[in-house]
Amino acid sequence: MKEREIYDNRPKGATHIQYQRYYWKHKDGESFEWNSQYSKWESSFGEPEDYANFRSLADIKRILYLEDLAKMIVDGESAEPSVIPYMFHSWLNKAKELLKG
C-alpha cells in the first residue's frame, strides 16, 4: 500500500500502521489494534511484537504534504511566467506552515 492509501484508509483514531496493513491506536499508555472484520478497536494485551515495523501516521501525513508541495512546484514550471511570482508566494506560505507544525 502506498502512503496515500494508508493515510486515506486509516480508521478514526489510528496513530500507527504495522506491516503496511494493521492499524494501531496508542493512547494514554495503552495499545489498541483495529479489527477490520468488525470495524472496531480491540485492546491489545501486552506490547506489539515488533516496533521496527511500525510507521507513524503523523509522519506519513507529513510526507504526503511534502509530496503535494513538490508536485505544485514541479507543475509550476510549465506555468505562465507572469503568474510564477504569485505561485512562489503560495509555495512559500505552505512551506512556512509545514515548519510551524
Radius of gyration over alpha carbons of the chain, in Å?
18
Element containing residue 33 per DSSP (H, E): strand 30-35
The pLDDT of residue 100 is: 84
Domains in the chain: boundaries? 3-57, 60-100
Q: Report pLDDT digits (tens) over 4-53.
A: 999 999 999 999 999 888 999 988 888 899 999 999 999 987 666 666 78
